[in-house]
Structure 1
Amino acid sequence: MQAVYDYRYVITCSSLPVVFKREFRKLVRNKIDSSLDARTGRRYAVPAEAQCRRIAVLLEGFRVLRAGGFASESPWNLRAKHLRYLRAHWSTEGLPENAVADKLRHWREFVVWINKRALLPILSLFPREAAPRSGDTRTRSGELLHDNSLITIPVLTEAIVMAALTEHRGNLRKAARALGTTTAAVCHALTGGRARDEAIPGLTILN
């Protein structure tokens, strides 16, 4: 089964209000595919899976805030009280130290995206969170390859794409729109990078 990581689909699958998701998608559109290495000052490309992981962590945080009574209509409205609430929530969840550190890293990146660097001290690592466990696996840029927060990351699969195509009578564009993604991502999930006729003989897709 070919699974395609697409941050747009992760946003679509969120239970947050449509208006919030629309604003969030606009916010992250030109930021999610790269990140700044604080050590070198250079930007590096973020792989698709890591993009989805970051989006999933952030959206889960906003879901927690909404459940806690912070029903903001826009992700731009993030305040210090929201981040303090999240830290308290993670503390009561009893998450592993490296999982909390990973969440803080994603939220620090988000705070930079919305140009609210004054909030960064709230997201600093406590001494007991600073050192990840020896079992953590990192890329050269320091990205954790495995997220221990137990957040499920939605992925596009052939079954999901086929269901959308069936619902929209084989119209590729409508199916992609319903899934909140691109026609290219839909085709990739459907064919696994192979030619359509080779992947699923006899399939006709309306563009």
Structure 2
Amino acid sequence: MEVTLNVKALLSDYRLPADFKRELEVLFRENVNRVHSRTRLSSKSLSVKTQGYRLQKLCRSFEELRENGFALQSPWSLKEKHIRFLVNLWVGKKQSGGTIENKITYFRAFANWIDKPNLVGTVGDYVDRKENGLIRSYSALEDKSWEGNQVDAIAVLDEIARTDPVVAMQLKMQAAFGLRVEESFLLRPKESVRHDGLLSVTRGTKGGRDRVVPMELQISVLEEAMQYCNTLTGSTIPDGYTKTQWRNHYYDVLKRYGVTKAGLGVTSHGMRHGYLQQMYERLTGVAAPIKGTGEKADIKSHREAMIQVVAAAGHSRRRKANAYLASYNAVAQQKSAAISLEQAQAAVVSAGGEKKAAAKLLGISRQSLYRILDREKCAE
């Protein structure tokens, strides 16, 4: 039986006129489980959690409009000026670019529900992104892998396994196969191994994008997982737990052992980063750009590796690989931004005036060196 969101109960938490709520309730009931994403492959309805989160943000936004003098009598009366005001309000509250873009996405879906498909623009249509610090980078700017943060994964997993072997096993699966946390919960080890030696990942995936990943020499990890399969579902969530209960337990265990940004400086998602970075290195023969070694793969190998990394990660767009691997340009820009004019000038002197040699000393491109040296001209 399909679980549905209690729309009336959700609306009761918000200070909106009764007639306004009634119209919202009709709109929500008819549309709440509709998928808006253009990259989602699954034909399934949105989860109740996703539905609820989207409606909460919409309701709170309508409250914000009324609190600031917009007496909307009907949700059908939503106009461009309301969206513009909200975006500027959120910017004024110093909300992140990602948060604001998510809210705009919810309103873009809502606009379709009220037959105004062109009502909502992008963040840049309402405010200056650069001026307000809303330029989003789709390339990693820091290495989130455990290896990149000098965390001894084997030691940490051994320690966790002493008190909670199931959590340790799920972390191992994330490291061995690049699984997301929920994918490691819902994987059915006894059913997921294909005859061609690939692992089929079909549950808990993002956007319903099923995928297969190479098992390589990691069969022992699956064999361990098979020992802990739920007797009813076959997943790795232990008997007696719901998914929500297990998720809470899982993160409690990680917190206890310091697997947090505030603790060891890493999260379990860092296992996935490490897996994809290692895959890139195996495919190209050089470390991923985020490692900052300065080595570059040839363009053909790089492009082919990016395609395979995206497929293994379960994403639909090639640029998504940059979130795990970074791009050469992003790394170069970050590195050159950290080099002062004085350091650049000193490198040029050390290299006897040879700009190419000076750039190599600094670990940046010659073009980046010229940009740094140009700062002196701009300052004059």
State whether TM-score is above 0.5.
Answer: yes
Mapping 1:114-153, distance limit 5 Å: 114-122=114-122, 128-129=135-136, 131=138, 140-141=206-207
The residue type paired with residue 135 of structure 2 is R
Q: Which residue of structure 2 aligns with residue 154 of structure 1?
A: none
Shift of 1:77: 0.3
Shift of 1:30: 1.3
The residue type paired with residue 7 of structure 1 is V
Structure 1, unaligned runs of 5 or more: 143-191, 193-207
Shift of 1:44: 3.9
Change (3 A) 1:37 1:122: closer
Shift of 1:7: 3.1
Identity %: 25
Structure 1 runs, 4 residues or longer, greater than 6 Å off: 132-135
Residues 7 and 29, structure 2, Cα contact 8 Å, conserved in 1:
no
Mapping 1:95-110, distance limit 5 Å: 95-110=95-110
**Secondary structure in 1 aligned to 2:72?**
coil
CA RMSD of aligned residues (A): 3.3
Change (3 A) 1:132 1:105: farther
Shift of 1:68: 1.2
Q: Which has the larger radius of gyration?
A: 2
Q: Which residue of structure 1 aligns with residue 26 of structure 2?
A: 26
Q: Distance in 1 between matches of 2:105 and 2:7?
A: 18
Q: Which residue of structure 2 aligns with residue 49 of structure 1?
A: 49
Residues 83 and 120, structure 2, Cα contact 8 Å, conserved in 1:
no
Residues 104 and 122, structure 2, Cα contact 8 Å, conserved in 1:
no
Mapping 1:21-100, distance limit 5 Å: 21-39=21-39, 43-100=43-100
1:46-89: CA deviation from partner (whole Å, max 9, x where unpaired):
11111111111001110111111111110000000000000000
Change (3 A) 1:130 1:101: farther
Aligned residue-pair number: 139
Change (3 A) 1:40 1:131: same
Q: Distance in 2 between matches of 1:123 and 1:114?
A: 21
Shifted more, 17-26 versus 124-133: the winner is 124-133
The residue type paired with residue 111 of structure 1 is A
Shift of 1:121: 2.1
Q: Distance in 2 between matches of 1:56 and 1:132?
A: 30
Shift of 1:37: 3.2
The residue type paired with residue 38 of structure 1 is R
Q: Which residue of structure 1 aligns with residue 14 of structure 2?
A: 14
Shift of 1:38: 1.2
Change (3 A) 1:13 1:67: same
1:131-169: CA deviation from partner (whole Å, max 9, x where unpaired):
49899x996129xxxxxxxxxxxxxxxxxxxxxxxxxxx
**Secondary structure in 1 aligned to 2:35?**
strand
Shifted more, 37-46 versus 14-23: the winner is 37-46
Change (3 A) 1:59 1:40: closer
Q: Which residue of structure 2 aligns with residue 153 of structure 1?
A: none
Residues 42 and 207, structure 2, Cα contact 8 Å, conserved in 1:
no
Residues 7 and 28, structure 2, Cα contact 8 Å, conserved in 1:
no
Structure 2, unaligned runs of 5 or more: 145-180, 183-204, 209-241, 243-380
Q: Distance in 2 between matches of 1:81 and 1:46?
A: 29
User: Taking structure 2 as the reference length, what is the TM-score of the superposition?
Assistant: 0.33
Change (3 A) 1:103 1:78: same
Q: Distance in 2 between matches of 1:43 and 1:78?
A: 29
Q: Distance in 1 between matches of 2:61 and 2:73?
A: 14
The residue type paired with residue 104 of structure 1 is I
Change (3 A) 1:43 1:108: farther
User: Taking structure 1 as the reference length, what is the TM-score of the superposition?
Assistant: 0.57
Q: Distance in 1 between matches of 2:63 and 2:80?
A: 17
Residues 100 and 129, structure 1, Cα contact 8 Å, conserved in 2:
no
Residues 80 and 122, structure 1, Cα contact 8 Å, conserved in 2:
no
Mapping 1:167-186, distance limit 5 Å: none
Shift of 1:6: 2.9
Shift of 1:35: 1.0
